[in-house]
Amino acid sequence: MSNFKFQIQKLKNFYHLLQSILANVYYGFPSKKLKVIGITGTDGKTTTTHLVYNILISSGKKASMISTVYAKIGNEEYDTGLHTTTPNSFQIQKLLKKAVEAGHEYFVLETTSHALDQNRVFGINFEVSAITNISHEHFDYHLNFDNYLQAKLKLLLNSKVSLINNDDLFAKRIQGSLNQNRKKFYSLALKNKADFQFDYKSKYDQNLATFNNYNFLTAFSIAKLLGIDEEKIIKAMKSFTLPLGRYDTVYDKDFQVVVDFAHAPNAIGNVLFNLKERLKGNGKLIHVFGSAGNRDKSKRPIMGEESGKYADITILTEDDPRSEDVVTICKEISEGLRKYGFSYSSNVNSESVKKYTIIPDREKAIKKSLEIVGKGDIIALTGKGHERGLARKVEVPWNEKELVLKLLKEK
């Protein structure tokens, strides 16, 4: 987004503000009758949102939720729209009203930087909020890191109490802003000193991915602030199933296939690092991914670097290309791969090492990975996760998990 477009967006945000005010009035300010928990951050928002919701329900609390995957009010699930995390203000207020009518006490809301910047959650007074982490993402919209961080801070500054990750690189900047505005906050960490230090991985589940250990810590800390008994928290965590498309092992026999929504550089690195640790013997990590078209171009080579650090073979393909040329996007990603010694091959095979290829059609790219996979290998499919649409020039139906299972039957 250019500076001119950025200024235009600011004008649009004023319109969104008016829309939010109208939505609050129309639905009778429902958030005032709920304890709303807001979750933001670059990575881990969805898993943390679902985990907090699961803890509340398991503890006998009446709770609702909006996440990237769906909204849930009681036993009813609602689609929040393709490629959407936080719905528009009228949808949000409508769902908040439904929660009030259902007699619910808590509402867990996954909250994006776009939603915060566009005032979609204006008028909601958050009981507790948490920021999972901050890294490179959405610079096509925010232009730079400072604007991105300021958008995220809106949530914390509009909360009675907030949680920050003391292990995050930008923790001190966030603390400084909260102190300057005299806002109450607590810290959490696995490495540094913090108010909450809870290592679920070492205590209860050695197989838990390290990045999910932070999500568990964040959810634990939120639940403690809400007064939930620790025994109930642990019990809920032990029964928790990761949300659809999050570190989802869809096949696990002579080799593994894992589907994950990771589409930011840091998230991709976290997923691949943990999958690399899963490998045994001579097993290889095959990575299939792309980058969204008409979105943040600056992150593409960085995504390539993360793949280059951990993958043995990389297949570059489409991921919501929209109106952009897929091959051009893939070539921009490959700049990062080359930094880690990768070279291009028109036909990668099971013997390839530090090689990448470009297959624009995502289904064909996944099929290729299944053709070259060997015993003990892991295929990582990142970017699409739970999504039910693939944004080409027109939206087409998509289900990554079902596609993998279909291709495996044909293999």
Give the pTM.
0.90
Task: Find the domain containing 83 and state its range.
Answer: 3-238
C-beta pairs of 203-212 under 8 Å, 24+ apart in sequence: 204/234, 204/237, 204/238, 209/247, 209/270, 209/271, 209/274, 210/270, 210/273, 210/274, 211/43, 211/44, 211/267, 211/270, 211/271, 211/274, 212/44, 212/47, 212/242, 212/247
The CATH number linked to 285 is: 3.90.190.20
The CATH number linked to 12 is: 3.40.1190.10
Same-domain check for residues 209 and 257: no
Same-domain check for residues 200 and 309: no
- Under 8 Å between Cβ of 271 and 260: yes
Per-residue confidence in pLDDT tens, the chain, 411 aa = 556 666 666 677 788 899 999 999 999 999 999 999 999 998 999 999 999 999 999 999 999 999 999 999 999 999 876 555 578 899 999 999 999 999 999 999 999 988 998 999 999 989 999 999 998 655 566 568 788 888 899 999 999 999 999 999 999 999 999 999 999 999 999 999 999 999 999 999 999 999 999 999 999 999 999 999 999 999 999 999 999 999 999 999 999 999 999 999 999 999 999 999 999 999 999 999 999 999 989 999 999 999 999 999 999 999 999 999 999 999 999 999 999 999 999 999 999 999 999 999 999 999 999 999 999 999 999 999 999 999 999 999 999 999 999 999 997
- The verdict on residue 243 lying in a domain is no
- The pLDDT score that the predictor gives to residue 360 is 99
Same-domain check for residues 212 and 293: no
- The pLDDT score that the predictor gives to residue 87 is 82
| Cβ neighbourhood burial of 46 (10 Å; 0-12, 13-18, 19+) | buried
- The pLDDT score that the predictor gives to residue 83 is 55
Total tally of structural domains belonging to the chain: 2
Within 8 A by CB and 6+ apart from 81, the residues are: 87
Helix (H) or strand (E) holding 289: strand 285-289
Q: Tell which of 181, 209, 238 closes a domain.
A: 238
CA distance 303 to 264: 7
- The pLDDT score that the predictor gives to residue 135 is 81
Same-domain check for residues 110 and 147: yes
Same-domain check for residues 226 and 127: yes
- Under 8 Å between Cβ of 115 and 85: yes
- The verdict on residue 95 lying in a domain is yes
Same-domain check for residues 207 and 272: no
- The pLDDT score that the predictor gives to residue 141 is 62
